[in-house]
Chains A and B, each alone.
Chain A
Amino acid sequence: MNFELDDVQTLVRDTARRFAQEEVAPLAAEMDKTATFRMELVKQMGELGFMGVAIPEQYGGGGMDYRCYSIVVEELSAVCASTGVVVSAHSSLCCDPIYRFGTEEQKKKYLVPLASGQMLGCLGLTEPQAGTDAGAVRTTAVLDGDEWVLNGTKIFITNGGQAGVAVVIASTDRSAKHRGLSAFIVPADAPGYKVAKEEHKLGIRASSTAELVFEDCRIPKENLLGQPGEGFKIAMQTLDGGRIGIASQAVGIARGAMEQAIAYAKERQQFGQPIANFQAIQWKLADMATEIDAARLLTWRAAWMKDQGFKNYSREAAMAKLFASDVAMKATREAVQVFGGYGYIDEYPVERYYRDAKITEIYEGTSEVQRMVISRALLRD
């Protein structure tokens, strides 16, 4: 793995950074306040290839690698964590499984409009009784002639409110437990597909988190993704990639907060001098920078392994996500501290970063699940 960005990666970073600062940053505070995502950003990002960074161009994507995907999510998240997760959930959790497990026809029909940003995608995995215990999915899919009929409820679905397509994990054989799960491509206009509820959240408020209900939801037989019984495997492998996305989001949130703290520390005068002159502040900044770099390197390593075609990088993806989400919490907490009272009010953006950071310890596997994945790998032999 190369620590330096090559020419292409540098250009990707520069483009993503500029886009983030010029187009996303001015909207971030308002999108957070009103808890609405500006869908025109999806269209704009689609045109730039951001909605499918690591999907080949022939399927509407940016044709880059996962390292570039990580870079793009970090840059977006450094100004707006909601935009970061909209892109990450869409790319890692919907585009990626269709790209990896889909038939050529499924890719043409669903991946092309997704990866080019014509519509948003989501993954329907979590259920009221199936959170960390993802194998306990109760949604069922029964084959009826040429159609699958889905019944069940999915909760906490990122992008759920606006998605045009959902990859849904449902049981096709309850007796086989998690080995009886299968994956399906479900268009949002399928009969019986309903967005039942939008959640009100502490952070990442601009991104939609919805409850999806399937009531005799009918989809064509050919919308099965992969083989029957492969659903759990598809979900777990998809989450490995997703964790790289969330780790990148966490790195971005942490970096954004640090940059705000640095700028403020140089400006804010107390005792007749900028507070950046005080060691108490300097040490906070030094710790933030060190931890952010470490988190990014872990994230890039996991991305590199995925790019190199490693069959199993669960441990590394879990480490990146575990560490980066922890760093995001610490860095944003300390950034608020550098701002003092001003950090606690919405006049400055660091309070938003602080609220946004918390979810990175929870979604796509809690920090506890990441530790479980890592320790299992350690104790396997």
Chain B
Amino acid sequence: MKIMVPVRRVPNPDVKVRLKKDGTGIETEGVNFLVNPFDEYAIEEAVRITEKSGGEVFLVSIGGPENEETLRAGLALGAHRAYLVDLGGECYESSGIADILAAVFKQENPDLVILGKQSVDTDNNQAAQMLAAKLGLAQACFAYKVELQDGKAVVQREIDGGLEVKEVELPAVITADLRLNQPRYASLPAIMKAKKKEVKKVTPADLGAEPKNRARVLGLSEPPPRKAGQKVASVDELVDKLVNEAKVL
């Protein structure tokens, strides 16, 4: 089975993000970037499938030359090869990203696409669904269990207040939730091997993709700082303030 896993490069989620002074983006100087954590679950799931029943996993990362580092990290987790789609400094919204992923899909014709349910930087949670729509494929998002059967996948997914079991025909697009598996640590020999694995560098044009932006980010700003709290002397005063000042009761 051939599995495609798109991976995104994100700033380390444990580090506080700082905005550029002009509000056009985030400060990247000195920031440690990692594989999007949800994508690690996707890579792990794909690698486990191929370890069990053969096949290969290829990664796709879209961005700039720096994404090679992200791809090497993913290759060290057991993926076999990778695509690096260089946007030449351009930036695309989810729909444009889905256009590019669809173009890679058409070149490779994988049996399955697994990716993180969302990236932890922009939290859009759209690219997977758009990719499925553009390719006319079935989708099963927020998977916590994936079982492959003949030509189909049975996916258990968490929904509000319960579970849903979906059967999708392959090829399909599945997104990984954090309970899907426990991603492995990259072993040192695996890191060494990853260095020698193929990373194919392409542009959207090479793939025949014409991503377009229909939305534009006008600016980023920090949330307003929280106002200082108040201390009250009694429960009565608290209730009074909740009713008359905060007007929440």
Contacts and interface: CB of A to CB of B under 8 A. Distances in A.
Contacts of A18: 185
B188 A68 contact: yes
Task: Say whether chain B's binding surface is mostly helix, strand, loop, or mixed.
Answer: helix
A63 B188 CA distance: 7
Contacts, number: 52
A308 interface: no
B76 A19 contact: no
Given A11-B76, A14-B34, A62 B188 contact: yes
Interface string B152-169: 000000000000000000
A15 interface: yes
Contacts of A7: 68-69, 72, 195
Contacts of B191: 8, 11-12, 15, 64
B189 A63 contact: yes
User: Which of A49, A53, A68: most chain B CB closer than 10 A?
Assistant: A49
Interface residues of A, number: 20
Contacts of B87: none
Interface in B183-216: 185-189, 191-192, 194-195
A48 interface: yes
B136 to A, nearest CB: 37
A57 B185 contact: no
Contact of B186 (A15, A53, A57, A63): A15
Task: Say whether chain A's binding surface is mostly helix, strand, loop, or mixed.
Answer: helix
B49 to A, nearest CB: 21
Given A7-B69, A10-B69, A11-B76, A49 B195 contact: no
B73 interface: yes
B226 to A, nearest CB: 15
Given A14-B34, A14-B73, A8 B192 contact: yes
Nearest to B34: A14
Contacts of B186: 11, 15, 48
User: Which of A12, A48, A57: most chain B CB closer than 10 A?
Assistant: A48
B69 A15 contact: no
A47 interface: yes
Interface in B27-43: 32, 34
Contacts of B73: 11, 14
Contacts of B194: 11
Contact of A47 (B32, B68, B69, B187): B187
B216 to A, nearest CB: 33
B187 to A, nearest CB: 5
Contacts of A57: 189, 192
A38 to B, nearest CB: 17
B70 to A, nearest CB: 10
A354 interface: no
A66 to B, nearest CB: 13
A50 interface: yes
Nearest to B75: A11
